[in-house]
């Protein structure tokens, strides 16, 4: 599916990237890039760093061009702080590369970096996101960047002069009021990036864009004291008391400071497209400074780099991972199918913020998604919506797995809630949804059923779960007036011939009309709406002991005709 550049933001960026790539190096593989630091849980805000270039690269591939999406794992970054919930003894590792820090207690992975990379890699695979992963630890320690490092050191005065322009601006900016992050996800993103405020290489002995990790303690608490361009001998001291002289032409235990490292990588990889978060796009930040360094020092071109806005979370207070962190893509994929999660990113321009729902709002999102699928099927979807849907359900490599019978998410959640997860009960209720075309196996409703089940069991508080009464509420039944008794009689009288989701919906809404002497298809008046609400509240009190609950037609199917009669027969 190649779509017009007038259709959506992905197509417009694809147009720009293809044109820029042809200008730079006609016929070469086009490179789109992302970068992630596995310093902790990689959250849903970080996912935008990957989704944005993924969607653009995928569109480029759909058009028949060779395109690679490189994902740099910044696993050679320093370990900054011990997160909440981790043994404070891990503070001894602050300053070491993430790949040299032990994984959290109980982890099967060899390092801190691998522990946090693994769930993200699994989530990206489930979402159909193909990428070429690059470990910056491997790149630096193998000497792959040696020529670039030596070049940056030779050009350190020019780099220092560029940075000096922005250091003044940074000081001025620090006097300005800081914009408060809108939510915890945004705060974590600002804190987690770190790159925009990282040490830029200034030292008392001069400016040096390379920072070695100490050979004794492995930390980056080092200070370069001298460097000789001819011999490449670099002397440094460490706060641990160790000092040594190394030949940078042979030394592989250190890295360029971030504001030089990033533009160096753009040049090294030939990156044409890479987005950046808002924390990288202010004056003096990494993306702005990096653009000048790649042009004036490395002699290359800065990537096309849209700024992307933060991704918020609704209902995050219920998330177990909110203790010391924010929800990750893996968390989201436990309660929603991959196409829906892809769609949330595809339908919004990168500079538009949005929220991912972990609360009741997920039901509305699924309703919106299913409505779009119906419009796509009947040919009434708008071009931009059609494009976002196509990007959500598959990639250039093919379609993503789908649910054969996509029962509405809110219905599945209600069924799971009432059936308390019992497979036989769940199948009985689902089979009754449409007797003319019954669901014969729970597999027909998977994986959506599994996602709804996980949502109910992890996100709906126990006190809000539905518990059907075991015995009739004799006191309430005895207190009913004639009008209420007549309403229950009309419902029970029609229940057998209306035993399907659609028919029961018609029945429960028509009972107040029939009681008022109106036809079942009468248009609702304000008075009728009040009567319907009162009738529904009565049914909820008699069935589940409170004024609200799952949608009544679903609840009635879940309870079963016999038990409904037992609980409602006045």
Alpha-carbon distance 295 to 266, whole Å?
A: 11
Name the residue among 270, 223, 268 with its Cα closest to residue 242: 223
pLDDT in tens, 515-540: 988 888 888 888 899 999 999 999 99
Domain count, the chain: 3
In terms of phi and psi (left: phi > 0; alpha: psi -120 to 50; beta: otherwise), the region of 293 is alpha
Q: Per-residue pLDDT for 161 more than 50?
A: yes
- The pLDDT-based confidence of 420 (bands split at 50, 70, 90) is confident
Residues 448 and 348 in one domain: no
Domain boundary among 357, 375, 400: 400
pLDDT on residue 172: 41
Q: Per-residue pLDDT for 506 more than 70?
A: yes
Q: How confident is the model over 93-120, as a mean pLDDT?
A: 97
pLDDT on residue 44: 94
Residue 228 lies in a domain: no
Q: Please return the burial class of 46, using the count of CB atoms within 10 Å of its CB with bins 0-12, 13-18 and 19+.
A: buried
Average confidence score pLDDT of the chain = 90
Alpha-carbon distance 511 to 486, whole Å?
A: 9
Domain boundary among 350, 365, 400: 400
Residue 192 phi, psi (nearest 5): -70, -25
Q: Per-residue pLDDT for 41 more than 50?
A: yes
Q: Per-residue pLDDT for 191 more than 80?
A: no
pLDDT on residue 39: 93
The CATH number linked to 529 is: 1.10.10.350
Q: Cα–Cα–Cα angle for 61, 390, 30, nearest 5°?
A: 15
Q: Per-residue pLDDT for 455 more than 70?
A: yes
DSSP 525: -
The CATH number linked to 301 is: 3.40.50.620
pLDDT on residue 7: 66
Q: What is the pTM of this model?
A: 0.88
Alpha-carbon distance 456 to 454, whole Å?
A: 6
Residues 373 and 436 in one domain: no
Residues 441 and 339 in one domain: no
Alpha-carbon distance 312 to 187, whole Å?
A: 10
Q: How confident is the model over 24-30, as a mean pLDDT?
A: 96
- The pLDDT-based confidence of 253 (bands split at 50, 70, 90) is very high
Q: Per-residue pLDDT for 4 more than 70?
A: no
pLDDT on residue 188: 42
Residue 320 lies in a domain: yes
Q: How confident is the model over 213-226, as a mean pLDDT?
A: 97
Alpha-carbon distance 277 to 259, whole Å?
A: 15
pLDDT on residue 6: 54
Q: Per-residue pLDDT for 29 more than 70?
A: yes
The reply to whether omega before 447 is within 30° of 0 (cis) is: yes
Residue 291 lies in a domain: yes
pLDDT on residue 171: 45
Strand partners, 234: 227, 246
Residues 436 and 550 in one domain: no
Q: Cα–Cα–Cα angle for 543, 546, 551, nearest 5°?
A: 65
Domain boundary among 464, 484, 508: 464
Residue 171 lies in a domain: yes
Q: Per-residue pLDDT for 26 more than 90?
A: yes
Residues 426 and 480 in one domain: no
304 close to 17: Cβ distance less than 8 angstroms: yes
Q: Which residue has the higher pLDDT, 139 or 425?
A: 139
Residues 67 and 3 in one domain: yes
Could you list the residue range(s) of the whole structural domain that residue 530 is in?
Answer: 474-568
Residue 165 lies in a domain: yes
Q: Which residue has the higher pLDDT, 45 or 316?
A: 45
Residues 354 and 380 in one domain: yes
Enumerate helices (H) and strands (E) in the chain, giving the number of each. Answer: 22, 16
The DSSP bridge pattern shows strands 202-203 and 132-135 to be unpaired
Residues 390 and 479 in one domain: no
pLDDT on residue 315: 81
Residue 384 lies in a domain: yes
Residue 276 lies in a domain: yes
In terms of phi and psi (left: phi > 0; alpha: psi -120 to 50; beta: otherwise), the region of 218 is left
Residue 218 lies in a domain: no
Residues 492 and 525 in one domain: yes
Residues 111 and 166 in one domain: yes
Q: Which of the residue ranges 6-15, 284-293, 366-375 has the most confident prediction, judged by mean pLDDT?
A: 366-375
Residues 363 and 489 in one domain: no
- 440 to 95, 134, 187, 384, 437: CA distances (angstroms): 58, 46, 47, 36, 9
Q: Per-residue pLDDT for 22 more than 50?
A: yes
Q: How confident is the model over 112-130, as a mean pLDDT?
A: 97
pLDDT on residue 198: 60
Q: How confident is the model over 110-134, as a mean pLDDT?
A: 97
Q: How confident is the model over 559-566, as a mean pLDDT?
A: 92
Residues 426 and 493 in one domain: no
């Amino acid at each position: 599916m190649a779509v017009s550049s007038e259709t959506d933001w992905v197509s417009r960026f694809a147009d720009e990237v293809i044109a820029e790539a042809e200008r730079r190096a006609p016929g070469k593989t086009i490179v789109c890039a992302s970068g992630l630091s596995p310093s902790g849980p990689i959250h849903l805000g970080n996912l935008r760093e990957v989704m944005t270039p993924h969607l653009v690269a995928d569109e480029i591939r759909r058009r028949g061009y060779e395109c690679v999406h490189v994902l740099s794992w910044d696993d050679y970054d320093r370990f900054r702080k011990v997160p909440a919930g981790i043994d404070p003894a891990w503070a001894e590792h602050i300053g070491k590369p993430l790949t040299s820090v032990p994984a959290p207690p109980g982890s099967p992975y060899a390092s801190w970096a691998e522990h946090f990379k693994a769930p993200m890699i699994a989530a990206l695979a489930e979402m159909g996101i193909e990428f070429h992963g690059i470990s910056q630890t491997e790149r630096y320690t193998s000497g792959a960047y040696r020529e670039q490092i030596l070049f940056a050191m030779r050009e350190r005065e020019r780099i220092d002069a560029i940075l000096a322009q922005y250091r003044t601006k940074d000081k001025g900016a620090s006097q300005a009021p800081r914009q408060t992050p809108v939510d915890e996800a945004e705060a974590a993103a600002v804190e987690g990036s770190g790159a925009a405020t990282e040490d830029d290489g200034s030292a008392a002995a001069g400016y040096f864009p390379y920072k070695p990790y100490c050979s004794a303690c492995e930390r980056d608490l080092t200070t370069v004291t001298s460097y000789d361009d001819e011999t490449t001998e670099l002397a440094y001291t460490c706060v641990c008391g160790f000092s040594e002289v190394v030949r940078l032409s042979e030394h592989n235990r250190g890295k360029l400071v971030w504001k030089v490292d990033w533009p160096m990588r753009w040049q090294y990889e030939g990156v044409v497209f890479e987005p950046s978060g808002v924390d990288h796009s202010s004056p003096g930040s990494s993306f702005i400074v990096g653009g000048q360094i790649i042009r004036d020092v490395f002699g290359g071109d800065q990537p096309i780099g849209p700024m992307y806005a933060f991704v918020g979370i609704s209902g995050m207070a219920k998330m177990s991972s909110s203790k010391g962190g924010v929800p990750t893509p893996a968390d989201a994929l436990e309660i929603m199918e991959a196409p829906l999660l892809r769609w949330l990113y595809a339908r919004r321009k990168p500079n538009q913020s949005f929220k991912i729902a972990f609360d009741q709002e997920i039901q509305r999102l699924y309703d919106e998604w299913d409505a779009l699928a119906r419009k796509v099927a009947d040919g009434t979807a708008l071009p931009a919506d059609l494009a976002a849907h196509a990007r959500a359900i598959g990639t250039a490599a093919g379609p993503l797995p789908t649910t054969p019978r996509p029962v509405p998410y809110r219905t599945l959640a209600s069924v799971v809630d009432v059936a308390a997860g019992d497979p036989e009960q769940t199948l009985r209720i689902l089979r009754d949804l449409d007797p003319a075309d019954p669901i014969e196996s729970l597999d027909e409703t998977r994986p959506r059923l599994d996602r709804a089940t996980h949502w109910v069991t992890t996100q709906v508080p126990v006190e809000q779960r539905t518990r059907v009464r075991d015995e009739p509420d004799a006191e309430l039944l005895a207190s009913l007036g004639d009008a209420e008794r007549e309403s229950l009689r009309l419902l029970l009288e029609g229940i057998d011939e209306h035993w399907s989701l659609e028919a029961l919906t018609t029945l429960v809404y028509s009972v107040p009309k029939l009681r008022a002497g109106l036809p079942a298809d009468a248009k609702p008046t304000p008075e009728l709406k009040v009567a319907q609400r009162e009738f529904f509240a009565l049914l909820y009190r008699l069935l589940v002991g409170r004024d609200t609950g799952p949608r009544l037609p679903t609840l009635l199917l879940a309870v079963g005709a016999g038990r409904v009669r037992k609980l409602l027969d006045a």
